Amino acid sequence: MVPRLFAWLRKHQRLVDTLFMVPLGAVAVIVRGRWIETTSDGLPQQTPYLLNLALAVAMCLPLVWRRRWPRAVFAVIAGAAFVQWLVGANVAVFDLALLVAMYTVAAECAFRWALAALLINELGLILLVWKLMSQPEPQGAWRELSPDSIALGAIWLCGLYISTRRKYTLSLEERARRLERERDAQAEVAAAAERARIAREMHDVIAHSISVMVIQADGASYAIDTDAARAKRAMRAIGDTGRSALTEMRRMLGVLREGDGKAALAPQPGVDELPHLVEQIRSTGLPVELTIDGAQVPLPGGMELALYRIAQEALTNVMKHAGPSATAWVELHYGDGAVELRIRDDGRGATFSDGRGHGLVSMRERVAVYGGEVTAAPARGGGFEVVARMPVRESPAKQEVGTP
């Protein structure tokens, strides 16, 4: 309940100030002050009621707006206190308003204004003591100056503490907002990277599978009347390719659906699947030869997936652009500190493109994750060649590299 009460009070500060001002003004009106001057018989005379009422209103009513205009409110109250000193009225209950106004200036305004409010109050205290000392019976008025000044300084320091505390809280809130904006920006970057990764995977899977299915379907349509067995083989290849594509798509979509990451544990294709990929391409009628040489070393799963996708994309483009009489070669070489994948053909040497340039961009993004490079250009003697080279560290098993 206490935190709720303070939160409610912070939201209704004008009401709080009004509730503080009303009883203070009421007491000030009821308890009349006295004149500092005395009559001829030595007795202090009473402050006129209307003057007492005017001073109470002038010093208490502005407190309602002390948070909105702290300097103006302090100036009005200090002016009323100076008038009170000029007419010779003694200190009354409503003089507490001057301390409240000084506290507000110290808590709400810059230090120079807080210091000015303290000096003005201290000056008023000195003027009051000076006038008391001019009376027939000063009764040690100067001895009251030190404790009153200490009390005045304590109230002023409380206002400075509240000001420092508020600035510190505001800085923490601003830092929290800045960190929240940075977190949202990082989340957007991560989401964009994940969308790019999924787009690469979907492009490679769908483009390759559909290209194989289209070529097989064209072959089956030509052979269905003259060679039924060949047409059946082509249709079976279409079914196998479609099922394989659906399996990979379900795996990728499962990563999006599963919040616990279990779908991400499904195995991804790697270099061990290259023979199967080559056989699939051969089934379309494109002669492909696969060569793997060098001392084979274990590679990170992400790097193996990148090599497989690059070979898949390159062979898909050979099928689409190299022509019907082309032959392709896939060479995977494990060298000193690097692995190199080379896909070349002897076809028409058409520019490497999937219509919108996604294929080559996808390759470069995959290779860049591992600090490698990829080139795609016409080969010497005709045809086209794609070369991807990625460095391999001495202890790949210790690498903590995510799947691109």
**Extents of the domains making up the chain:** 2-139, 285-404
CB 388 within 8 A of CB 367: yes
pLDDT surpassing 60 at residue 402: no
How does the average pLDDT of the chain come out, rounded?
A: 77
Rounded to whole angstroms, the Cα distance separating 4 from 229 reads: 82
Mean pLDDT of 192-216: 72
Q: Which residue carries 């591992």 as its tokens? A: 370
Q: In what order do the strands lie in the sheet with 338-345?
A: 288-294, 328-334, 338-345, 384-391, 373-378
Position 148 scores a pLDDT of: 80
H-type alpha helices, 45-110: 49-60, 70-86, 96-108
Q: Which residue carries 């250009």 as its tokens? A: 377
The alpha carbons of the chain give a radius of gyration, in whole angstroms, of: 44
pLDDT surpassing 80 at residue 120: yes
Residues 6+ apart with CB under 8 A from 367: 306, 310, 373, 374, 388, 389, 390
Position 261 scores a pLDDT of: 47
Instruction: From residue 141, give the alpha-carbon distance in Å to each of 87, 123, 148, 243.
Output: 19, 15, 11, 102
CB 365 within 8 A of CB 404: yes
Residues 6+ apart with CB under 8 A from 32: 46, 47, 49, 52, 92
How many CB atoms sit inside 10 A of residue 274's CB? 20
Helix (H) or strand (E) holding 203: helix 145-223
Mean pLDDT of 75-103: 81
Residue 62 is given by DSSP the state G
* Nearest CA among 323, 260, 330 for reference residue 291: 330
Residue 384, token pair as written in the block: 């086209």
Rounded to whole angstroms, the Cα distance separating 64 from 76 reads: 13
Residues 6+ apart with CB under 8 A from 202: 249, 252
Residue 216, token pair as written in the block: 């097989």
How many CB atoms sit inside 10 A of residue 290's CB? 17
First to last CA, the chain: 52
How many CB atoms sit inside 10 A of residue 338's CB? 13
Rounded to whole angstroms, the Cα distance separating 154 from 121 reads: 13
Residues 6+ apart with CB under 8 A from 274: 290, 292, 307, 308, 311, 330, 332
Instruction: From residue 82, give the alpha-carbon distance in Å to each of 28, 121, 238, 313, 341.
Output: 17, 10, 100, 90, 92
Q: Which residue carries 């990451």 as its tokens? A: 261
Q: What is the pLDDT of residues 15-70, one digit of tens each?
A: 776 776 677 666 666 665 444 444 444 444 555 667 777 777 788 788 888 888 88
CB 381 within 8 A of CB 347: no
pLDDT surpassing 60 at residue 165: yes
Of all residues in the chain, the percent with pLDDT exceeding 90 is 9
At residue 389, the 3 state secondary structure works out as: strand
Residue 3, token pair as written in the block: 């935190």
Position 254 scores a pLDDT of: 63
Residue 67, token pair as written in the block: 């948070």
Most confident of 21-25, 239-243, 324-328, 349-353: 324-328
Least confident of 198-207, 290-299, 360-369: 198-207
The length of the chain is 404
Residue 273 is given by DSSP the state G
Residue 350 is given by DSSP the state -
pLDDT surpassing 90 at residue 341: yes
Position 315 scores a pLDDT of: 87
To the question of domain 285-404 being in CATH 3.40.50.300, the answer is no
Instruction: From residue 48, give the alpha-carbon distance in Å to each of 71, 120, 128, 152, 320.
Output: 30, 27, 20, 29, 107
Residue 120, token pair as written in the block: 């003005």
Mean pLDDT of 78-100: 79
